[in-house]
Amino acid sequence: MKTPTLLASLALAASLACTAPARAQTTQYQLFDIGQLGTGDLMYATGINNSGQVSGYAYTNGFNGWSSVGDYRGFFSGANGAGLTGVGSFGGTWSKAYGINDAGQVVGAAQTAGGSFHAFLRNGNSAALQDLGTLGASNSMATAINAGGQVIGMVGGDRNLPGYPDVLDPQQGFITDANGQSMRALGSLNGQPLFGNGLNDAGRVVGHIGYSELNQAGTFVTGPNGSAPVALPAAVHYQESSINNHGQIAGTYIGPQEYVGRNAYIGNDSGTVKPLDFSNVANYDPGYLGGSGQYGPASFSETTGINEFGQVAGIIHNHRYGRDFAFITGANGQGVIDINSLFTLADGDWFRNVTGINDQGQFVVNSGYGHAYLISPIPEPATLALWGVGLLLIGGAVKGSRGRSTATTRSLPAALPMPC
């Protein structure tokens, strides 16, 4: 069994939401390697719920979540990342888990005995997978689930790409009712189908318009239960990754010209965009690979999640280094922190991407060498609900899974309190 390793401490100058006095609190962070589903497995985490249960998949012969032999095996963990359970399949050879809600319901895609793949929902203690359907298409996959068990995903045809058994030609996005019932199409805007990337507990969906994120006609947000979709300003939006219950949206924009690159932002459901500030982040290399925009930007960024306090998680793509780097922010998108500036893994490994962050401030991060980690604040993560997250971070260097640490310091600016 893996032992959590104390890696970092976090001193918070916190202003309690809806109260006058400010308080100072101190906590610490732990790093926990969730282990392997089977001996020799590479691991890739995809999501986290408020109990610290993690979803994801194991694989071999690949990197960054991709297997050259397509041997994916979906899993979910117990609370705080402890104990892994395979999700099973529909009789085929592979499965992937893409999300988990607070009830422990897991969603993803699994291959059938006939070779197609279908979106599934698994209730945590049940060994059976619930087939969500395909809306008449060959294949489907489920990519996110909310507290009520509403699921979003997409359906389409088979691409038949070696090493990519779960890739489909998208036909339309879908949403379900509670507990994965009654799959239906998300609809369309401007004559193009809608594909959801994230949803909140009211069933409000954000995503992109059109068949591909690389060739699409803007982005959208819906009302409750996927109703009344509206387009967000097409001039700046590229991809919306997630929406919280306050209507805050984490996404990626292009602008003012595409050669400037894609940049992570926090915004809202009326189309406001506030770019995240990477000016003090070591692994975000400003400028261009060549003069006057030649060869494109040296770095760009994208988001992967947002929690109820507006903490944003995402990825820095640094083309000068040829690597991706994981980041999170403080509340309301304030203060970007590269996880690699806090912790150093052994043997040259590094934190590549954060794929989920919960309302307790826990987040899951994947490393370049195929490890998946849960990073948790101490004391109890629930105390984050009382913090306005002012933030002075102290990080450690890790020589091994139980190695010694040395301290460095980084700071985040104070964030505004969340609305009551």
Q: For position 371, which CATH number holds?
A: 2.130.10.150
Mean pLDDT of 251-257: 70
Is a pLDDT exceeding 80 seen at residue 13? no
Residue 211 lies in a domain: yes
The CA R_g of the chain, rounded to the nearest whole Å, is 20
Residue 16 lies in a domain: no
Mean pLDDT of 373-398: 53
Is a pLDDT exceeding 80 seen at residue 93? yes
What angle is formed at CA 318 by the lines to CA 290 and CA 312, rounded to 5 degrees? Answer: 135
Q: If 0-12 CB within 10 Å is exposed, 13-18 middle and 19+ buried, where does residue 238 land?
A: buried
Residue 4 lies in a domain: no
Residue 122 lies in a domain: yes
Residue 62 lies in a domain: yes
Residue 84 lies in a domain: yes
pLDDT in tens, 127-163: 899 999 999 999 999 999 999 999 999 999 987 776 6
Among 49-63, 105-119, 126-140, 231-245, name the one with the lowest average pLDDT.
231-245
> Is the pLDDT higher at 26 or at 125?
125
Mean pLDDT of the chain: 82
pLDDT in tens, 184-200: 999 999 899 999 999 99
Residue 299 lies in a domain: yes
Is a pLDDT exceeding 60 seen at residue 210? yes
Three-state DSSP class for residue 242: strand
Question: What pLDDT does residue 46 have?
Answer: 98
Mean pLDDT of 114-122: 96
Number of domains in the chain: 1
Residue 91 lies in a domain: yes
Domain that holds residue 372: 41-380
Q: If 0-12 CB within 10 Å is exposed, 13-18 middle and 19+ buried, where does residue 343 land?
A: buried
What angle is formed at CA 103 by the lines to CA 101 and CA 104, rounded to 5 degrees? Answer: 70
